[in-house]
Amino acid sequence: MDFQKLLKNPKPYAIAALELTKRKLRTHLSRGSAVHCEICLWNGAQFFNGKCPKCNSLPRTRLIPFSLRHFGLIRGNQKILHIAPNLNEYNYVKNTFENIQVYDRLNIREVPHINLVQDITKTDIPDNSYDLVIVWHVLEHIVEDRKAASEIYRILKPKGNLLMSVPIYPAGNLITYEDPAIKYEDYEKVHGHDDHCRSCGMDYYKRFESVGFSTQVLEEYTAEGLKRYGLSQNHVVWCFSK
Q: Which residues contact Zn ion (rule: CB under 5 A)?
A: 37, 39-40, 42, 52, 54-55, 57
What's the CA gap between 221 and 223, in Å, rounded?
6
For the chain, percent helix, then strand, then coil, each to nearest 5?
Answer: 35, 20, 45
- Among 123, 39, 135, 120, smallest CA distance to 85 is for 135
- Among 172, 182, 148, smallest CA distance to 162 is for 148
What letter does residue 125 receive in the DSSP assignment?
Answer: P
- Among 29, 30, 31, 52, smallest CA distance to 40 is for 52
Based on CB atoms, which residue is closest to Zn ion, 23 or 146?
Answer: 23
Q: How far is the CB of 58 from Zn ion (least distance, A)?
A: 10
Based on CB atoms, which residue is closest to Zn ion, 96 or 241?
Answer: 96
Q: How far is the CB of 23 from Zn ion (least distance, A)?
A: 10
Q: How far is the CB of 229 from Zn ion (least distance, A)?
A: 10
Based on CB atoms, which residue is closest to Zn ion, 97 or 229?
Answer: 229
Based on CB atoms, which residue is closest to Zn ion, 39 or 135?
Answer: 39
**Phi, psi at residue 162, to the nearest 5°?**
-120, 120
Q: How far is the CB of 131 from Zn ion (least distance, A)?
A: 27
Q: How far is the CB of 87 from Zn ion (least distance, A)?
A: 12
Based on CB atoms, which residue is closest to Zn ion, 42 or 177?
Answer: 42
